[in-house]
A and B are shown apart, each in its own frame.
Chain A
């Protein structure tokens, strides 16, 4: 895609098809509300289209650019929501993590979804649920050493998946 070509409606459609799922996932994770997440994704593509001439693929991927826009939109929406008195008083406001933390959390969750089922399973069971290797091994019908090696290869796969979705340590 040459520079400045996010100006046509067709380009936006293509960008949407490729990235809307992830953008929505992150928006939902960070804003905690489906309606706001929709508004955020919509606003992100509108801003991207309006600034389409400034997009230069030489400088970074379209995905990175869209995430940067979404980040700003999410900040604006969080502020607007904080300023809306009715919601805050009603106590219906979902809890909001600081945005950077929410982005990281979403990246880890998204990376976990992308790795193989076998790897995900042992990481969830042993790490997040804190279950002993022996118990997980018995449940899966494999030797304990296999659980251990799956944890290792799972962690490696997670690293690759995190890099794919733009995480930088």
Chain B
């Protein structure tokens, strides 16, 4: 049965749970708790809250923080970009799968793509990197430009923030830098360029952190 006294006691339970009750009041309340299961149950409700209170930093309570106002737009832009990147990569994987097939099968498939106006129709060259660690995906497409070659890099599975450096190798030990980029989680392709004609490009080297991966470039059929 709840009495008026019980209600008054109950309002002391907060102070009691937080260890703020003076000794004399504490003794009285503890005597009451002995014989009052309702108040004991109420105390058990408050104790877990009292236990985590010391974790909070009172200086931070007043400072509600808000994300920058344009973050939502930037995320939406990244998602839209990644959706485009996915389509590109799907085409790229198709190309990579092709390069692994037997010559005859590849030729047959190529014929189909050309007939269908598929991904092999453009002048771009896909290259694949071998000896990649498990979970890491690196691929590139090279596009001929009047100033040289445009390099589209696709990277997945490496640590966000890793510095990547791309170099194109030509004949007779020619090496021309295509530039650097920093991989970010979920980033879409990085577009770089080098002053080396695609027809002269023999291989693409990408330095990822301290490791380097090489992809050979097949000689252009028509160039």
Contacts and interface: CB of A to CB of B under 8 A. Distances in A.
Counting contact residues on chain A (CB < 8 A from B), the size range is 35 or more
A84 B79 contact: no
A127 B55 CA distance: 12
Contacts of B51: 169
B160 A80 contact: yes
A152 B55 contact: no
Given A45-B75, A46-B75, A24 B66 contact: yes
B186 A151 contact: no
B74 A42 contact: yes
A9 B60 CA distance: 33
B15 interface: yes
Contacts, number: 136
A152 B60 contact: no
A97 B110 CA distance: 56
Interface string A1-40: 0000000010011001100110011001100000001110
B202 to A, nearest CB: 34
B60 A159 contact: no
Interface in A27-67: 28-29, 37-39, 41-43, 45-47, 49-50
A152 B57 contact: no
A17 B51 CA distance: 32
A24 B65 contact: yes
Given A13-B76, A20-B71, A25-B64, A101 B12 contact: no
7 contacts: A24-B65, A46-B185, A76-B160, A77-B160, A109-B56, A148-B11, A159-B45
